[in-house]
Every structure is written in structure tokens, then in C-alpha cells.
Amino acid sequence: MKTVVRRWRLSSERKAELIEEARREGTSLSALLDRVTGEWLARRHRRSQDEAEDEAEAEQAAIRKRAMAAIGTISGSDPTRSARTGELVREIILRKHLKESNALARRFGRRTR
């Protein structure tokens, strides 16, 4: 049951168009305005959801890009590389860790290894 009364200021031409449209649809002006505003709100809600999904996709793409940059690759002509992947990855991680540790030590005035 509708209980709220709201007055809108419209041009007389717009009001006449709305009344004519309500007559064509065989409904009241109030029902027409309720339907039209409901449809408008639904479109706005869908658009907001689409924008939120687009933002989430962009954020995921940025995360993937940062992750791929951090992951790196192992390259070379070593035929035993695939068998030694774990060892090679540990070496790379250790080098990165030492490099970061040394940079922090220099920054804070400590001796490096």
C-alpha cells in the first residue's frame, strides 16, 4: 500500500505527456510514475554493479601483473634445469632476500654481509 505523497514540479507540457501516456497504458498517473521511477532505479543499480565488477576485474588484472613481475623466470641452456627447478628457485629467492637485506642494512647504517 502506497502511503507517501510526493509533489513534483513539472512543466504543463510534461504533465500532459505523462497523463496521455498513462491513458494509453490504461493506468493511473501515479502507477505510471511508480513504474518509471522503479525502472530508472533498477537501471542505475545494474550500472553500479557493472562498474563495481569492472573495478574488481581491473584490480585483479593489476594484481596478476604485479605477481607476474615478482615471480620472474628462470632462463638458460641447462638441460637439467627442469630437474633442478626447486634448487634454482631457492637460489633466486635467497639472492633476492640477501639483496633486500643489504639494501635495508645500508639504509639504516648497519654492516652488510
pLDDT in tens, 65-82: 888 877 766 666 777 877
List C-alpha distances in Å: 65 to 60, 61, 68, 69, 92: 9, 6, 5, 6, 20
This prediction's pTM: 0.46
pLDDT of residue 73: 63
Does residue 111 contact residue 105 with C-beta atoms inside 8 Å? yes
pLDDT of residue 4: 83
pLDDT of residue 111: 60
Q: Please state, in angstroms and rounded to a whole number, the distance separating the CA atoms of residues 101 and 43.
A: 53
Alpha helices in 10-84, H assignment, sequence order: 12-25, 29-71
What rounded mean pLDDT belongs to the chain? 86
The residue type at 112: T
